Structure 1
Amino acid sequence: MSDHIARLRALDTCAVSDALDRHGIRGVLVGLQPLAADRLIAGRAVTVLLGPPPEDAAGVPGRHLGTAAVDASGPGDVIVVAHQGRTDCAGWGGLLSRAAVARGIDGVIVDGAARDLAEAAAAGLAVHARMPTPVTARGRAVERSWGEAVEVDGIPVASGDLILADAGGVVIVPAALADQVLTTAESVAATETAMAEAIEAGIPVSDVMGKSYEELTDGEH
């Protein structure tokens, strides 16, 4: 496990979101929910771009969507499926979940619907998506590419960017800014831990959550 991933695992999405704010970076994916295997996801993005089947099937990969990315991934990787927010069909399913677990993949993020979520949960794979659906992608969506830069919820995501997902949501940290964002997030988390200890010690919350708390996300944008 890389140092960045180990540091990411020690944080939560709220601290990372605050750090992204401080650095003026949009990195929170809105509307995604944990739908299988209630546990934290942390790792490097491996991207998959989906789209409607073209009228001319020439050039469309002759394989099921997501399979190449899964086969090329392993521990410390998170599959990120750019499904354009579609909920009319699944951008991820049960056999892919089983294959991801077999490869040691840390989790899956789908900007759209996913299916076979009970199967994913039984296999131990954490999946965040917009909603569950039983509708297959066959005949409705195809893989356009994998491993290339995509856009998810209006936010650019490249393979190698850091992904953190927990009960609070999903955040993305650009790989080139990982050190700065993680250092800030660690500072935010330490400050909030000290504040929590002060509250537990009986200090009024109005004193604890004063000006210094409001300035936690201040920074030069």
Structure 2
Amino acid sequence: MSDKKDKNIKKNSKKISQDLVERVGKLSTSLISDGMENSRTMNYRIKPIKGGMKIQGTALTVKVKPGDNLYLHKAIYKAEEGYVLVMENGENQEAAVWGEMMSRGALAVGLSGVVLEGFVRDLADIKELGLPIFAAGAYPKGPTVDGPGSINTEITCGGVKVCPGDLVFGDDDGVVVVAPEELEDVVKKAEAKLLREGERIKELEDGKLVPDWVNK
């Protein structure tokens, strides 16, 4: 439900089906990006804080004043299992907006992960905790906690529009975003490309060096 005390906090969007989320998790961001013809792929600065981290789930969006994280705190405790917290921060480079205690809170409520346009701190601790976090880097300076902000409104993160309820998927290559109404089609295209790549690998193993399409 919406927060009656704060008109800037909207209700959470419907979660994407677990079946689709699991199918996405068997793919890669590169395949999904290709399935969308390379649209809605976040810029290269947004990366996992630790190699091997993978994130997929339904977007819970947060917009904060650059260098402030009050509404990130509010969003953590509005979240549920299966949601990914995605933040617009105006590409702020003056302060970290996420750290160890926020990670512990996010794990306690069951968040699937966090995508931040800005910086984190307490890097060693949050790596050890294991919550998938994608961010622009690490920086020790802390934020203000004053607001204003909003939750579950359209935002921009990493140069990409993100709406509440979108599918958010990240791996070592970066982060992609897919609208729920497009997801089934995008996943089918990505799965088909994965199959074609498997067939090409088999051709190479069998000694066929030049693929047919090269000479068309």
TM-score normalised by L of structure 2: 0.83
- Overall identity of the aligned pairs, in %: 27
Deviation at 1:37, TM superposition (A): 6.7
Cα distance in structure 2, aligned partners of 1:144 and 1:91: 13
Residue pair 2:120, 2:139 contacting (<8 A) in 1 also: yes
Report whether the alignment pairs 1:210 with 2:214: yes
Q: Give 2:151's aligned residue.
A: 146
Q: Give 2:10's aligned residue.
A: none
Cα distance in structure 2, aligned partners of 1:52 and 1:109: 15
Distance 1:92 1:208, change over 3 A: farther
Letter in 1 for 2:48: P
Q: Give 1:166's aligned residue.
A: 171
Distance 1:176 1:115, change over 3 A: same
Residue pair 2:60, 2:164 contacting (<8 A) in 1 also: yes
Q: Deviations over 1:154-179 (max 9, x none)?
A: 32101110011101111111122111
Could you list the runs of 5+ residues in structure 2 that have no partner in the other structure?
Answer: 1-16
Letter in 2 for 1:64: L
Deviation at 1:108, TM superposition (A): 0.8
Report whether the alignment pairs 1:20 with 2:36: yes
Q: Give 2:27's aligned residue.
A: 11
Cα distance in structure 2, aligned partners of 1:184 and 1:175: 15
TM-score normalised by L of structure 1: 0.81
Q: Give 1:102's aligned residue.
A: 108
Report whether the alignment pairs 1:182 with 2:198: no
Cα distance in structure 1, aligned partners of 2:74 and 2:191: 35
Cα distance in structure 1, aligned partners of 2:168 and 2:154: 14
Residue pair 1:34, 1:127 contacting (<8 A) in 2 also: yes
Aligned residues: 199
Deviation at 1:125, TM superposition (A): 0.8
Q: Give 1:43's aligned residue.
A: 57
Cα distance in structure 2, aligned partners of 1:211 and 1:158: 42
Q: Give 1:219's aligned residue.
A: none
Deviation at 1:6, TM superposition (A): 1.1
Cα distance in structure 1, aligned partners of 2:186 and 2:123: 32
Could you list the runs of 5+ residues in structure 1 that have no partner in the other structure?
Answer: 55-62, 213-221
Cα distance in structure 2, aligned partners of 1:47 and 1:172: 12
Deviation at 1:143, TM superposition (A): 4.8
RMSD: 2.3
Runs of 4+ in structure 1 displaced over 4 angstroms? none
Residue pair 2:71, 2:151 contacting (<8 A) in 1 also: no
Letter in 1 for 2:211: D
Q: Deviations over 1:38-82 (max 9, x none)?
A: 32111111111011489xxxxxxxx93312221122322111111
Q: Give 1:2's aligned residue.
A: 18
| Alignment partner of 2:135 out of 113, 129, 151 | 129
Q: Which protein has the bigger strand share?
A: 1
Residue pair 2:64, 2:148 contacting (<8 A) in 1 also: yes
Report whether the alignment pairs 1:84 with 2:90: yes
Cα distance in structure 1, aligned partners of 2:136 and 2:215: 36
Partner of 2:150: helix, strand, or coil?
A: strand
Letter in 2 for 1:89: A
Cα distance in structure 1, aligned partners of 2:194 and 2:75: 33
Cα distance in structure 2, aligned partners of 1:5 and 1:155: 20
